[in-house]
Amino acid sequence: MRLLQEKLSKYDVPQKIKDLGIYPYFRTIESDQDTEVIINGKKVLMFGSNAYLGLTNHPKVKQASIDAINKYGTGCAGSRFLNGTLDIHISLEKKLAEFVGKEDAIVYSTGFQVNLGVVSCVTGREDYILWDELDHASIIEGHRLSFSTKLKYKHNDMESLEKQLQKCAPDKIKLIVVDGVFSMEGDIVDLPGIVALAKKYNASVMVDEAHGIGVLGEQGRGTCNHFGLTDEVDLIMGTFSKSFASIGGFIAGDKDTINYLRHNSRSYIFSASNTPAATAAADASLDIMLNEPERIEHLWTITNMALEGFRAMGCEIGHTATPIIPLYVRDNDKTFLITRDLFDAGIFVNPVVAPAVSPQDTLIRFSLMATHTEAQLKIALVEIEKAFKRYGII
């Protein structure tokens, strides 16, 4: 056996969890991504999806994808930089820029590729990247590729951020990169605090709106719009795999910055462009977001019901204020056991365990869609209360 194989063969954590009968990953869905899905022939209620507006099986979204395939084929066979730019890419970029309130935008193949390609290339060796300790992994991977000095600050802690800004040379670029809504905790960034510090220390701000668009702001325009601070934020990132019911991502900003990224962002230049179907699906989802405000209204109705329900039963849910609700278990094994028991009871949720979080911060990630009914939510609340009581969490 070669040395590489020998090393990797020693990784047996998943096998041990499988042997215990509590392995919760790669559960194969045999139906569309809806509030109810079929897994191994069994119907379960889906409370683990990021499709916040419930658009993945919307007839207009599906038809837009079909029409795009009929016109353009299944793929672009190249990068945007060379032979892979379609007219629908350009039109979607214009719509996205207008939607988030910026001059221009470019579309990447995935949301991860956006953060990887933007964060890694916009600052230089003598500059600084400042990041929240709970930022998404794609932001972390992006700044790892950068030659800039990286400074981490405590989660949503403006005093900690200011201390890090004070370490920076005044005449160098300082980029603060942060999630608008934190993907596991569900809490909202203190954007007013960040913007105030950015002005004080002449820093720039980039906000990852992956979990904010479709949820917060006017017509779902996101966290920056929610706070009325769009003009104070330099770069706004979004992904298509949540509220846009597709796959891909975008970055929006001023024309000069976007022009630079078009010609220097390696994950954009050297990746195949978005498929016609994915591009058309995102475009159609944006139209629905703008024209069906009742979806966001209902999302918030059931979100508030869920928050009240979990608080009433005594669950620890942290500082969440969104459809992402962390149910803290604070024990790795119990988190796996509860996930298994809930699945057996017909409830799909996601476990978040070490090393993704520290062992004392493990949680069940419960997320809502605009298409969930109040009846479905009530069923989930009953089963979660049973499971949490069974393991002494509440």
Query: Of 89, 174, 211, 298, which one is the catalytic site residue?
Result: 211
By mean pLDDT, which of 10-19, 136-145, 172-181 is the weakest? Answer: 10-19
Query: Of 62, 155, 226, 242, which one is the catalytic site residue?
Result: 242
Class of the CATH-defined domain 10-46+293-390: alpha beta
Query: Which of the four pLDDT bands, split at 50, 70 and 90, describes residue 355?
Result: confident
How much is the mean pLDDT over the chain? 97
Spatial CB neighbours of 3, under 8 Å, sequence gap ≥ 6: none
Spatial CB neighbours of 185, under 8 Å, sequence gap ≥ 6: 134, 318, 319, 320, 324, 326
63-76 in b/e burial notation, b at 16+ Cβ within 10 A?
A: ebbeebeeebeeeb
Question: What is the predicted pLDDT for the residue at 94?
Answer: 98
Question: What is the predicted pLDDT for the residue at 100?
Answer: 98
58 catalytically annotated:
no
| Segments of the chain assigned to CATH 3.90.1150.10 | 10-46+293-390
242 catalytically annotated:
yes
Amino acid at the residue 7:
K
Could you tell me which of 105, 20, 106, 50 has the C-alpha nearest to residue 285? 50
Q: What order do you get walking across the sheet with 350-352 strand by strand?
A: 324-328, 363-367, 350-352
Query: Which of the four pLDDT bands, split at 50, 70 and 90, describes residue 359?
Result: confident
What is the average per-residue pLDDT within 191-196? 98
Percent of the chain with pLDDT over 90: 97
Query: Of 120, 138, 148, 183, which one is the catalytic site residue?
Result: 183
59-291, what's its fold? Aspartate Aminotransferase; domain 2 (3.40.640)
pLDDT tens sequence across 240-287: 999 999 999 999 999 999 999 999 999 999 999 999 999 999 999 999
211 catalytically annotated:
yes
Question: What is the predicted pLDDT for the residue at 30?
Answer: 97
Amino acid at the residue 202:
N
| Segments of the chain assigned to CATH 3.40.640.10 | 59-291
Query: Which of the four pLDDT bands, split at 50, 70 and 90, describes residue 357?
Result: confident
